[in-house]
Amino acid sequence: MNYVSILKKDKTVKGTISLTGSKSICNRALLIRALSGKDFPIYKIAAAQDTQTLIELLESDKIIRDAGPAGTTYRFMTAFLALQDGDQILTGSERMKQRPIGILVDALRRLGANIEYLENDGFPPLKIGSPKSDIGKNNAIDIPAGVSSQYISALLMIAPNLPNGLKLTLTGDIVSLPYIQMTLNLMAHFGVSHRWKGQTIIIEPQDYEAKSFTVEADWSAASYYYSLAAFADDCDLQLNGLFENSVQGDSALVEMTEHFGVKTTFNEAGVHLSKIAQKETTFVYDFLECPDLAQAIAVICGGLGVKGHFSGLKTLKIKETDRVAALYNELKKIGVAFDEQIDGSCKVSGTASSPTHTPSFATYEDHRMAMAFAPISMLIGTVQIEEPMVVGKSYPDFWKDFEGLGFECKFS
């Protein structure tokens, strides 16, 4: 087993980090460029493995295309390939074959896509053939709004290329609305208009415009530095590349982390983090619109002994791993409880303490588990993170950047 031992000998955080581009934004821009059939520059492309995989798959002429563990890439490619001529097989890692795709496939089939399951119904891998001759004749479909927003975004981005456009009705409570808005905002940047009618999004057939685009930095990646700021006695930290008027729902970090004593000041380069007084000893939050922050915030609560009540976690169980179970397993190693309630919410209780032996945190092939638990070493001393290179999925330079802030990272 590979692992990294992490230690921070003081509780001071000082330095400058230039964050990688947001893979959520970058992957959408890349798919839009491919759908447009035109070439235009995309600046500050995310270094994430997921993004590099998407670039390779979009440029590939192979019959079998492997998305590996990249969930966003898999879902976007499913919709993209559904409009292409010829037969392709879209596969992924063993974990990807356990992640549901049926809701998206059903929606695409109703539009006229030709898709078959090669192993288990409702799950990858898929055989995707040329679309039916009447593709898009039926342009009015519905999809449960409580599932991954990536299904919805995939359908929205192919909508302008359908002969009759798309009328997509979202049924039930909408999960991760900021990610849907992100998609629509990016489509608007490239000249595609839409309108809402109740919970129906209407997109007429139209052409994407070729325009240069700059990817803003990743607020999800910023969350791990906000953790450091929360744990620090003294913080003077600049994070470059973040936008104040962000399309990312995870920019909720700014307001959220004030409760943990973190002050955010926007400047021309990004944001500056410093310390203020911690506001409360309890923290209640609905993560429905920013589920990727839940792991980092759970560790912050445990580290500071703040009682947390987290709701809006329904998508966490179908991510790279079951993140609710993973948080329960790993937080208890340092004396913190993460207990799921009957209504699906979770409560955080206890204060992190160093056990008699160095805690070793499993990562479950999940990049966010590795990055969420690394900051706790500032409070409890040396910790180990198993399979540390999993961070490459979204943030390949994570360990290098942590070392630049004075963390000792020893790989074994």
pLDDT score for 319:
67
pLDDT at 156: 98
Residues of the chain with CATH 3.65.10.10: 3-21+216-411, 23-214
Q: What's the pLDDT at 318? A: 67
Per the CB < 8 A criterion, the answer to whether 168 and 201 are in contact is yes
Q: Is residue 397 packed enough to be buried (19+ CB in 10 Å), middle (13-18) or exposed (0-12)?
A: middle
Going residue by residue through the chain, which has 412 residues, state the pLDDT in tens, using 9 for 90 and above. 699 999 999 999 999 999 988 989 999 999 999 999 999 999 999 888 899 999 999 999 999 999 998 889 999 999 999 999 999 999 999 989 999 999 999 999 999 999 999 999 999 999 999 998 888 788 999 999 887 889 999 999 999 999 999 999 999 888 778 889 999 999 999 999 999 999 999 999 999 999 999 999 999 999 999 999 999 999 999 999 999 988 888 999 999 999 999 999 999 999 999 999 887 899 999 998 888 999 999 999 999 999 999 998 877 766 667 898 999 999 999 999 999 998 888 999 999 998 788 999 999 989 999 999 999 999 999 999 999 999 988 899 999 999 999 999 999 9
Beta-carbon contacts of residue 49 (< 8 Å; ≥ 6 apart):
68, 70, 392, 393, 394, 396
Nearest of 377, 338, 349, 378 to residue 361 by alpha carbon: 377
CATH number of 23-214: 3.65.10.10
- Interior angle at CA 381, CA 377 and CA 384, nearest 5: 60
pLDDT value at residue 137: 85
DSSP type of residue 357: S
Cβ-Cβ contacts under 8 Å for 294 (sequence gap 6 or more): 287, 310, 313, 316, 323, 327
Burial 296-329 (b: 16+ CB within 10 A, else e): bbbbbbbbbebebbbebbbbbeebbbebbebbbe
- Residue 174: its pLDDT value, please? 82
Please state which of the four CATH numbers 3.65.10.10, 3.40.50.2000, 3.40.1190.20, 3.40.47.10 is assigned to the domain occupying 3-21+216-411: 3.65.10.10
Q: Is 61 a catalytic residue?
A: no
Catalytic residue among 250, 292, 366, 401: 292
Helices (H), 128-235: 149-158, 177-189, 219-231
Q: How far is Cα 45 from Cα 25, in angstroms, rounded to an integer?
A: 9
First-to-last alpha carbon distance for the chain, in angstroms, is: 8
Q: Side chain identity at 279, as an amino acid letter?
A: K
